[in-house]
Structure 1
Amino acid sequence: MASIPNLRTLRTGRRGHALRGGRSSRGAQYGDDDGDVRSVEEGRDAIIQQTDHDASSTRMSTVSLGYLDDPFAKAFLAPGEQITKRYPIIHRGTYVRTEAIDKLVIRFLDTRPEQRKQIVSLGAGSDTRFFRLMTRRSGTPQSTVAYHELDFEANANQKRNILRQSTELSDCVKEAEQNGSTYHLHAIDLRALTNKSPPTIPGLDSTLPTLLLSECCLCYLPPDAAASVLQYFTMNLPGSLALILYEPIRPFDAFGKTMVTNLASRGIHLQTLKRYSSLQAQRQRLLLAGLSDGQGGRDVYQLYGDEKWVSQSERERIEKLEWLDEVEEWKLLASHYCVAWGWRGEVFSEAWQGLQGSRTAGEDQDEPG
């Protein structure tokens, strides 16, 4: 599908490009009349909705080779569908991105375990994080959690159908609810949250410490609209609040320019990419959004090489799973995606203490010429 280049499916260099998109509600308005605008938006929305199948297929490929432990991924493959094997750099990128976000999420849940918490996943699609969190084994008690997923109506309905059909998934939800956690799947277009009278998200608890997740999601909105979506939550959730972002960066170097050109040729525009083009721009974005107690950002290549995020023993395990002869491609691709996080509230300061994400000397090259 023609959409955002993602570590899960983008191939570079001699093998060409395969593009894959994010999973939420976004689209630019243009056209000669209202009918043209709706037609353009509907077409773009349909492309974005359809890309979620690729996400689940890529995750299954990564899981099947042992990079990740995710027994729920197979539930999102169609009956009889064969696993499509991805390239090693895609597997490695999927692993790093998943592990880094999981580390931030788990630290949040394991901090002050007596305190109920809330997670809101924007454009969740076929993501399995809730189910994996509910079945993980840990020596430390974790908080009960109210878990919300927001996505297009078509994607949300598809996930509901899969939940009904999968005994493993539905049993996981039931067991989680018996243990005090709750799972909410909302069919909400994120653009609606920017309206003067935005919809109420059923079950959203304004009293709970809340973590927002946006994986290749907000980057499809115009910058002001993306900021308005964040403002919806910062205004309606006055307490402890944090956001984890996973997005592409560095559009101004040779690789970044090629990435942007390839997307534009397919009618896809990552509207926040140039405004939040660097790790420092992402940190500043989080600060301006009101997450003033701390901000961090690292690209995927940095995360993979940092013992705090991926241990030496894990790197050795990963590198034994399959041969990766695209070392330069891996470095180039991984350095154009980042995980950024920002927060307000003591629970997040405590949870994420020691995870370095401040500016490094090497980031000077990120400044556009």
Structure 2
Amino acid sequence: MSTIPNLNTLRSDRRGPRLRGRRGPRDGSEDVGRFGEEDVEIGKDKIIQQTDQDASSSRMSAVSLGYFDDPYAKAFFPAGEQVPKRYPIINRGTYVRTNAIDKLVLRYLETNPSEQKQIISLGAGSDTRFFRLCAGKYKVRYHELDFESNVVPKRAAIRASEDLSRMTLPSNNSSTYHLHAIDLRDLTHRSPPLLPEMSTEIPTLILSECCLCYLPPDTASSVIQYFTMNIPGSIAMILYEPIRPFDSFGKTMVSNLASRGIELRTLKRYYSLDAQRQRLRLSGFKGGQGARDVYQLWESDDWVSNTERERIEKVEWLDEIEEWKLLASHYCVAWGWRGEPFEQAWKEIEGGRTPDEQRDDALG
């Protein structure tokens, strides 16, 4: 296959912005290199910020075809822009990822539902999970963190909608919504900011869907540590990330993304399901860890019922079965926790090592 679509971000019809350095002195001074490096980093940040547009388009494509219901997706989609039609394997991947993360989140929210909980979504962008699952339904503080360039249009979309604005208003014994414009790297500084309204005393779930993978591994670990150190009690994390970069499919996937200026910096360190489990354990989520690739999630009745699979298969004809299997096996959902609320919610969910993972050991 000449091109390999990314389940979350890759678009075949658009490339990211070119990286252009500022014009510096012509005398050969060190300022040229310094300014150039700064602009390259700014350019990389812009590319990462724009991946949210791709995610929004993929969500709208799946919703418009009936893979799942999301009445709020359109509110965060650019007005007047035509909804793109993604490849069937992209639409199915978007469905499986959304369905799996929703199940984990709902298991957490429905465990002792009268108790106050907290969710912090990293790089949330145009994500609609608060509005779909939480608003007015559960006693939860919901925080979304992203670059200012992604927060500004989301805040504007919420203010422009009477329905969304109402859902974000605090209500007695129910949900509260907090939208933060922040560069996650600021959380790794020696004196990091404390997020407004973030509680350090209630069970907290951290979400990262293709977010931390853009940071250097040590920086990504420091971001996680910010939360595990500031929240000493019950805490958990759900990750959605690419895996398996070392086989032929993975190498082509990495190359295709690199052609757009997208670098998955944690991919080689957390290259397998087991590496993701160990990552979560070493990050302090010692109560338990689980991981499944998207294809495993699709095939498992525990995640997608047989009836639901039959429904999805009728939504859109998919004749790229082998390509679907390859693509879906290169993305995963991983989760880890510490604390009784998450033990109750997730302890019965199968996420341990499987015999098929031996191939990862050989490649890694």
Q: Give the secondary-structure state (helix, strand or coil) at the position aligned to 1:177.
A: coil
Distance between the aligned counterparts of 1:37 and 1:149, measured in 2?
29
- Count of aligned positions: 346
**Is 1:237–2:236 an aligned residue pair?**
no
Residue in structure 2 matching 1:311, options 300, 305, 310: 305
Q: Taking every aligned residue pair, what percent have the same amino acid on both sides?
A: 67
Give the conservation status (yes or no) of the 8 Å contact 2:123–2:146: yes
**Shift in Å at residue 135 of structure 1?**
5.6
Cα drift, residue 288 of structure 1: 0.2
State whether residues 203 and 233 of structure 2, in contact with CA within 8 Å, keep that contact through their aligned partners in structure 1: yes
**Cα distance between partner residues in 2 of 1:128 and 1:342:** 23
Consecutive unaligned residues of structure 2, counting only runs of 5 or more, are 17-30
Q: For 1:91-120, what per-residue CA distance to the aligned partner results, in whole angstroms no more than 9, with x for missing partners?
A: 100000000000000000000112100000
In the other structure, the counterpart of 2:249 is 255
1:346 aligns with 2:335: no
- Deviation by residue 1:170-199 (Cα, 9 ceiling, x = unmatched): 12223x635521100000100111111111
Which structure would you say has the larger Rg?
A: 2
* Greater than 6 Å deviation, 4+ residue runs: 18-21
**Structure 1: 5+ residue runs without aligned partners?**
12-16, 22-30, 137-141
CA distance in 2, matches of 1:47, 1:98: 23
Partner of 1:78: 78
Tell me what 2:90 maps to. Answer: 90
Q: How far off its partner does 1:214 sit?
A: 0.2
1:265–1:321: structure 2 CA closer, same or farther, 3 Å change rule? closer
Provide the C-alpha distance between the structure 2 equivalents of 1:179 and 1:73, rounded to a whole number of angstroms.
26
- In structure 2, do the counterparts of structure 1 residues 32 and 301 end up closer, same or farther at CA, with 3 Å as the change threshold? farther
Going from structure 1 to structure 2, the CA distance change for 1:261 and 1:80 (only over 3 Å counts) comes to closer
Residues 291-313 of structure 1: per-residue CA shift (max 9 Å, x gap): 00100000000000101111111
Residue 222 of structure 2 corresponds to which residue in structure 1?
228
* Aligned counterparts of 1:85 and 1:243: Cα–Cα separation in 2: 32
Q: Report the counterpart of residue 158 of structure 2 in structure 1.
A: 163
CA distance in structure 2 between the aligned counterparts of 1:165 and 1:236, rounded to whole angstroms: 35
Residue aligning to 1:189: 183
The RMSD of aligned alpha carbons is 2.0
The residue correspondences of 1:1-369 to structure 2 (distance < 5 A) are 6-8=6-8, 10=10, 33-134=33-134, 143-174=138-169, 177-367=171-361, 368=363
Q: Which is further off, 45-54 or 299-308?
A: 45-54
Q: CA deviation at 1:164?
A: 0.7
Matching residue's letter, 1:293 = G
Deviates further, 280-289 or 65-74: 65-74
The secondary structure found in structure 1 opposite 2:171 is helix
Q: Tell whether the 8 Å contact from 2:215 to 2:265 is kept in structure 1 after alignment.
A: yes
Instruction: Please give the secondary structure, in 2, of the residue aligned with 1:51.
Output: helix
Q: Is the 8 A contact 2:122 2:208 kept in 1?
A: yes
Letter in 2 for 1:261: S
Measured after TM superposition, the shift of residue 18 of structure 1 is 6.5
Shift of 1:269: 2.0
Secondary structure, counterpart of 2:222 in structure 1: helix
Say if 1:121 and 1:150, in contact at 8 Å, map to a contact too.
yes
Give how far 1:143 is off.
3.9
- The alpha carbon displacement at 1:267 in A equals 3.5
Asked if 2 retains the 8 angstrom alpha-carbon contact of 1:6 and 1:19, the reply is no
CA–CA separation in structure 2 for the residues paired with 1:49 and 1:296: 29
Structure 2 counterpart SS, 1:310: coil
Q: Distance in 1 between matches of 2:311 and 2:259?
A: 39
Q: Which moved more, 1:257-266 or 1:332-341?
A: 257-266
SS in 1 for 2:335: strand
